Chain A
Amino acid sequence: MTNPDSALLVEEVHVWRGTRHVLKGVGCRVSRGELLHVRGANGAGKTTLLRVICGLLRPEQGSVAWQGHSIASVRTEYQLALAYASHEPALKSDLTALENLRYTVGLRRRVTDAELRRHLERTGVGACAELPARVLSAGQRRRVAMARVLAVQATLWLLDEPFTNLDAAGSGLVTELLAEHAGRGGLALVVAHHELGLQQRVHCLDLAA
């Protein structure tokens, strides 16, 4: 069953929310070096699909496999291989940007403050490292969340609306990071309302409302 070409395989996923059938047999296959652009109207289940793929939500039917194994059977290994950036930046407002990274990235791998600062600088918020997340703008918070995605050094990126609140330079940066990530052999699923601006290796998945 193991297919080295398709690192992530999602098959026939069905999810109901109460009586609402949110995901109706969604499937996709993403290989190393590929990006998948998940599109769909509001309420089409884009975020639900990402939550299913990262293992937070168990689908009523269907399966998600990582490198040929069901994600439930390789839970720890799979979690260490993925970076999930939810719709909210997921930062504690009372902690500084650096502390936020230290206490989440630090659970996955040993990391130094200097390295975390480098990632914050890469996403353009190096000067905000010592500021509490509470005083950062929405765009800066998004950049800190992106720095966390970089810092965890994951193979699979699951990004939910990563362009929200970002200025033109910020959007360009995310596009650039995605291209670099794919270039290194990483894979990513990106939920976004506009085009990613990357021509090569981008597949699209359209979810019906």
Chain B
Amino acid sequence: MSVGTWEALSLILRRELLLSFRRPDQLLQPLVFFLIVTTLFPLSLSPQLALLREMAPGVLWVAALLASLLSLDGLFRSDADDGTLEQLALSGQALSAIVIAKTVAHWLVTGAALVVMSPLVATALGMPVAAFAPMMLSLALGTLTLSWLGAIGAGLTVGLRRGNVLLSLIVLPLAMPLLIFGANATDRAIAGASPAGALYFLGALCVFTSTLAPLAATAALRISLE
């Protein structure tokens, strides 16, 4: 009996999550990076609460973007290196379904994990509790968008031996709007103002990439597979 697209999506998602949990070092790497970077800033500057609070949005967002980017290179590379990507591509399922499932899995183990951990870091940076919810929402939207953008870059660079640097060069410029609107939303939430405007922008970017990036990433991957 043939397998439907939803069933295939769930199967690949389970495979990706299982693979991530079998390699806890890779799973924890972005999270530890996020924690270390956000801890180093107060140590290198002054530990005054007012100063920390002022720089918190920038520190949080830069660290989250770089942490998420850290693991993007492996999105398709590991499967391409051991030949399993070819098996997935020949499975009779749409390549776009495979790209979507892998990208969502990537976001769950990096982006979503960063969002869950962010209140801890926010507390250390002296952010008011009232700003946690908008900050977490902005991070969730931002990291998901970044995973989609990263999927395009990872698809393009999977065939290159040292694609990591190129991947950063492709993805980081595209991620600038996320940094600007994300930090702005967090900043306004800390100041007690409404972060709605910036959050709407992040939401729009997230919808835009969620719908178009799978197509672009699939096309990029198809070229790389040749």
Contact = CB atoms under 8 A, between A and B. Distances in A.
A107 B226 contact: no
A76 B89 CA distance: 11
Contacts of B92: 76, 79-80, 107-108
The binding surface of chain B is classed by DSSP as: helix
A95 B19 contact: yes
Contacts of A87: 83
B130 interface: no
A80 B2 contact: yes
Contacts of A86: 83, 86-87
A69 B35 CA distance: 56
Interface residues of A, number: 29
A94 B87 contact: no
Contact of A58 (B1, B14, B18, B226): B226
B123 interface: no
Interface string B75-109: 00001001110111111110000000000000000
Interface stretch (A21-29, A98-106, A170-178, A199-207): A98-106
A167 interface: no
Interface in B1-55: 1-3, 8, 11-12, 14-15, 18-19, 22-23
Interface residues of B, number: 26
A94 B91 contact: no
A72 interface: no
Contact of B83 (A57, A90, A103, A108): A90
B219 to A, nearest CB: 13
Contacts of B84: 90-92, 104
A30 interface: no
A88 B23 CA distance: 22
Contacts of A55: 90
Given A90-B82, A94-B22, A109 B87 contact: no
Interface of B: 1-3, 8, 11-12, 14-15, 18-19, 22-23, 79, 82-84, 86-93, 225-226
Interface of A: 54-58, 76, 79-80, 82, 84, 86-95, 99, 103-104, 106-110, 148
